[in-house]
Structure 1
């Protein structure tokens, strides 16, 4: 049998500890599948004294994380530190500069620096593997890079953030509002103390930029992902969606065409007969539409110790077998810098919600703004006063250009009849 693949592990949080546990629990099976043993030989983390529930005495402890790349007895560095820059990026650069393989779960680093790191990996003849960076234990990276490699992908989209999906599912099932459910999610550990990256769509945008690169052969372009989160979704919006035959989900969607690359994370109304409408809790799901394979749906646990560690170890098994190629499915030199598609030219239907003063003429003012912007109204619903005395007005539009909807909302900006900002949710078509 070949010599062991020697691994240095940077970061011993939930996922790092899970990697050690998985390698221990499934050691014989992993060795048989990899064709050689996979052994952790060195570890690094911020706190050497913390009890992580695993025996770390058998590993060499390295205080300086960046020094892991210099260890003579290391073949692969697993980076589980997180963050788009800082120690994680320093370690990734140093590892590839030494010609060593790297496995990472760091979607932020890949979204911001993926092209640079892919170029460095190819130049060094080393692997850059990141199955765990998107959708936890779901093999979506391998699915796009290998399983669907022969297909032209029309679009890729899905539920990419478990925290948001947990919150929306809970609001839907229990008729509660966002702030209350967010507090519960934080208490249960489903949401961070500072949940901004999750609830404002940034985490999903990082993941979407990686999926778009794999699907369309474009350079990762996180800066061109338009991201809107779920913090302004009300329980009443979810109830209205249900009455109309939809469920509310935060969907990341990317399409490439003659007009350029379109990337957006935004709350959507998803038809009840669409598979994404039935993805609940902290589950993730990704849909890819290929010109020969048709619609592919990959669904499963998008985070957590076991699923994410499983994806990390799967990458290690690939490296042990010598199975790796260009990180983003084609050589970095072939990845194009795509033009940014104009969202205003996209056509679709929309759900618009307003909180308005309860007085004569308000509906006429909203309808006039829609008419003047060229927005055709399919249905208009007015509900009774909310707890703060405002009336909820919900509009579903006919299909039309998004630019017209944006113009209508701009016409209503600053109106004394409208309280706060209207909510705009796209209807998934």
Structure 2
């Protein structure tokens, strides 16, 4: 009812707005009347409203279209900026790869120099000839470089590292062969002799990689095994007494059967006697640990040095003892002075070499040829190098 009244009110207002209107016009002394009805006014108003509405709709459409084009342009600009940013990131990433590659190459250069210093001439000699594997690595590197130019430097570095590991493996195997040959020169079996040095091992299991699942590359695993074998045999070689126990050249009694100087009967002499002046320094024939420093029945004042792998040297009839039990000594360290204590007929050194508690002839140990001594010296230089670097580092920090 209320809506009907409102509608009727609006219609009444429109009728009031568009009433019949009369206009008069005077021209040439005549007056004319012009009548415009309310219906005509309504029609004209409707036509004008329609034209204005249509104009508004067209204007609105044009505005919306312009806004859409502007939005699309902005989106395109954002995409273009994103692409430019990606290209920038790729360029920066490429620079980063190049920088990492250069750092790794410098590090590899340093590793090879250090390796040649401590492995010796073998590593350098192995680098002079290319193996078939290294040739294949070179070909693969060229293919990778052609397909992925950004990774070319890293591919070359990878090939270089694998080739380096293989050369190092061959060098370690050569060193191992020389150590084995040197051990045989002392009358010892390198396989049995070196095996005893690995019997007492242990410790907690700590994976090399954090996830505990990955394994070493086969080339690196082969290198690791070769270096471990080389290290084992060279350290074993260093436990063999090969230095003269004193600065003497005269041997007064050899190893084996002899006539006993006190009873005149046949007896087994378990060592070598060296004649020299009273008080002459007696030196350790190899590095080791002092396991006896005192009086021993029949031997008088005696020092025994245990070298590992079942080897022990005995220095008897001393006038003085310069070491204590439990002390560690290096090759050439004075352990006592020559004398004539115990069952002795005069000033001399009784020198024994024992393997697993059994006396063996010391002569092969003391008469090692120059090549064997050279192999020992190289092994000693390598094993002492980490200690020297640690001592140098400690003194620099202090």
Instruction: Answer whether TM exceeds 0.5 for this pair.
Output: no
Structure number with larger C-alpha Rg: 2
Between the two structures, name the one with larger relative contact order (CA 8 Å, sep ≥ 6): 1
TM-score (norm: length of structure 1): 0.23
| More helix per residue | 2
| More strand per residue | 1
